[in-house]
Amino acid sequence: MISILRSMWLTFLHVFHKTETVEYPEVKPYLPPRYRGRIILTRDAEKKERCVACYLCAAACPVDCISLQATEDEQGRRYPEFFRINFSRCIFCGFCEEACPTYAIQLIPDFEMAEYDRQNMVYEKKHLLISGEGKYTGYNFYKIAGVEIGVKGKGEGENEEKPVDIKELLP
Amino acid sequence: MKYVFIIAGILLIVLSIAAGLIWVERRLLSVWQDRLGPNRVGPFGLGQVVADTIKLFFKEDWVPPFSDRPVFVLAPGILMITILLTFAVVPFGPDFYVFDSNIGILFFLGNSSLGVYSIVLGGWASNNKYSLIGAMRASAQMLTYEVFMGLSLMGVVMMADSFSFCKIVEAQKGGWFFIPQFIGFIVFFIAGIAETHRLPFDIPEAEGELIAGYHSEYSGMKFGMFFVGEYLGITLISALVSTLFFGGWLGPSFLPPVFWFLFKTFFFICVFILLRASLPRPRYDQLMELGWKILLPLSLLNLLVTGAILIFLK
């Protein structure tokens, strides 16, 4: 009997508690910067596409929602001819971001992508590609390493050593 | 002509309270659970009542082909009728009642006994195992609690020397009956919860075990009648508790008597909802044990002591 009255009283005291509800469309929740939401393709500081169409993201994707086709421009720089993410399949695991060697594909704190038509969930390259650098600024894959496509000379990258003269005997 | 206005007024008050309780209950429950509750439709979500009513009206009113059709259709009506009829004898104010019966309490007890039929017939006509189990539980529970619901009121009847609700209210001018009849008040309130099969005594519905008990097969406005019938039942029991034990329309004269009556009624409605928010559902045997082993002897004892004191004072 006492415990019943006590539990009623304790329930009543909740009148003075703060409500837990977040009124979502009016009040947006805080999303941390590393939140895994909508996927974007970024560009480097020179506004060139970072993606080198290596297919690693498509290979890492556990639900096979990424499809792309590699091609090259006249300088030999690889880029995707098309890049398609089917967000009705995507599980936002972030494996593609982990697999990407050039920071091109990134997940950003945005989840409001509901659509009435399922077909609209398929994002093409023009929807994915943004003009900025995303979360990782100042990184340009071609300046660190990689083939010569007019960004830097052979062996002149930041982490690169000069090419070895294979006809030289000295160590 | 005056009676037409009174009847229309009481029906309006009672039905709008019952419909408004849809919103009140959800908002209050959410307050006690640290939520916000329905607040989208209209100011403070008050339009929720209208939205829910329209939704219920436009739902398909489906009668299952395996059911006993006439009984199935009749059952929800019985609940509404018995409860609404009881409001006829409840005095909302000094001159605001439909009729002052000299057997008012018996009329209420008889009507609430008839209300059991609604649930039993509804569960039976549904031709569904869960509904039948719910109906069986409801009938056992309501018959059990009916017994000492009547007995608990006899103390009040002895003190007021009348079965009429109006006389009982007037007899409380010297002091409200919940102090001398405290045990009677507690027993009547618990029996009232069981009688309206509200939580924590919602064993006939017990959605965890029986889906929705006796009204599993009901849809559309027939379900709506059971739904509103439950709220009407809460309103009725709250109105009776305030009439019989808390002086009905009596109160300080700076506000009209009807206000005091509605205020007390609303307070007990809130207590009903608080009970729902805080207490778990007892097991079926616990319910029966509480009824027969504790509340029945308690109400008999109350009857005995009240009678003895009244005779001693004479």
pLDDT score at A99: 92
Q: In the structure encoding, which two tokens stand for residue B84, read together?
A: 């609404």
Residue B43 placed within a domain:
no
Whether chain A has a CB inside 8 Å of the CB on B290: the answer is no
Domains and CATH numbers, chain A: 34-144 (3.30.70.3270)
Which DSSP letter does residue A145 get?
Answer: S
Residue B28 placed within a domain:
no
Distance CA B101, CA B2 (A): 18
Q: What percent of chain B shows pLDDT beyond 90?
A: 0
B248 vs B190: which has the higher pLDDT: B190
When pLDDT is cut at 50, 70 and 90, the band that residue B175 belongs to is confident
Which of B32, B275, B279 shows the shortest C-beta gap to A14?
B32
Which of A4, A11, A21 shows the shortest C-beta gap to B32?
A11
| pLDDT tens profile B212-229 | 778 888 888 888 888 888
When pLDDT is cut at 50, 70 and 90, the band that residue B117 belongs to is confident
pLDDT score at A85: 92
A20/B34 CB distance under 8 A: yes
B279/A7 CB distance under 8 A: yes
Residues β-bridged to residue A129: A41
A14/B34 CB distance under 8 A: yes
Residue B161 clears pLDDT 80, i.e. is over it: yes
Residue B155 placed within a domain:
yes
Give me the domain span that covers residue B121.
Answer: 65-313
A19/B36 CB distance under 8 A: yes
For residue B289, the number of C-alpha atoms closer than 13 Å in the C-beta half-sphere is 5
| Stretch B177-181: mean pLDDT | 80
Residue B203 clears pLDDT 80, i.e. is over it: no
Burial of residue B27 (number of CB atoms within 10 Å: 0-12, 13-18, 19+) = buried
pLDDT score at A39: 92
Distance CA A165, CA A152 (A): 19
Which of B33, B35, B278 shows the shortest C-beta gap to A7?
B278
pLDDT score at B123: 85
Tally of structural domains, chain B: 1
ipTM: 0.71
Angle at A140 between CA A135 and CA A142, to 5 degrees: 150
| pLDDT tens profile B51-86 | 888 888 888 888 888 888 888 888 888 888 898 888
Distance from CA of B286 to the nearest CA of A (A): 14
- C-alpha R_g of chain B: 20
Residue B20 placed within a domain:
no
Query: Cβ neighbours of residue B194 under 8 Å, at least 6 residues apart?
Result: B141, B142, B144, B145, B201, B287, B291
Torsion of CA B195, B201, B202, B208, to 10 degrees: -170
Mutate to test the interface with A, among B278, B279, B294 (most CBs of A within 10 A): B278
Q: In the structure encoding, which two tokens stand for residue A112, read together?
A: 């409001």
Instruction: Give chain A's length.
Output: 171
B274/A12 CB distance under 8 A: yes
pLDDT score at A84: 92
For residue B288, the number of C-alpha atoms closer than 13 Å in the C-beta half-sphere is 7
The widest CA-to-CA distance across chain A, in whole angstroms, is 97
Residue B53 placed within a domain:
no
What share of residues in chain A are helix, strand, coil (percent, to 5)?
A: 20, 15, 65
A8/B279 CB distance under 8 A: yes
B35/A14 CB distance under 8 A: no
Distance CA B241, CA B238 (A): 5
Q: In the structure encoding, which two tokens stand for residue A127, read together?
A: 């929807």
Residue B10 placed within a domain:
no
Residue B106 clears pLDDT 80, i.e. is over it: yes
Residue B1 placed within a domain:
no
pLDDT score at B5: 84
Residue B70 placed within a domain:
yes
Say if residues B82 and B114 touch (Cβ distance below 8 Å).
yes
Sole residue written with tokens 């206005």 = B5
pLDDT score at A86: 92
Would you tell me the crossing angle of helices B2-32 and B47-58 to the nearest 10 degrees?
100
pLDDT score at B104: 84
Chain B hits for A10, CB-CB cut-off 8 Å, are 278
- C-beta atoms surrounding B81 within 10 Å: 16
Distance CA B141, CA B284 (A): 9
pLDDT score at A62: 93
Distance CA B187, CA B196 (A): 14
B84: closest CA among B102, B98, B100, B103? B98
Residue B1 clears pLDDT 80, i.e. is over it: no
Residue B37: closest C-alpha in chain A: A21
pLDDT score at A91: 92
Distance CA B203, CA B283 (A): 8
Distance from CA of B93 to the nearest CA of A (A): 30
- C-beta atoms surrounding B189 within 10 Å: 22
Distance CA A84, CA A103 (A): 17
Residue-wise pLDDT tens for chain A (171 aa)? 788 888 888 888 888 888 888 888 888 888 898 899 899 999 988 888 888 899 999 999 999 999 999 998 888 888 899 999 999 999 999 999 999 988 899 999 988 888 899 999 999 998 898 888 888 888 888 888 777 777 777 777 777 788 888 888 877
Distance CA B281, CA B283 (A): 7
Distance CA B14, CA A70 (A): 73
Q: Three-state DSSP class for A81?
A: strand
Please report, for chain B, how many H helices and E strands are present, in that order: 12, 0
pLDDT score at A116: 92
Q: Three-state DSSP class for A40?
A: strand
- C-beta atoms surrounding B260 within 10 Å: 20
Distance CA B76, CA B87 (A): 18
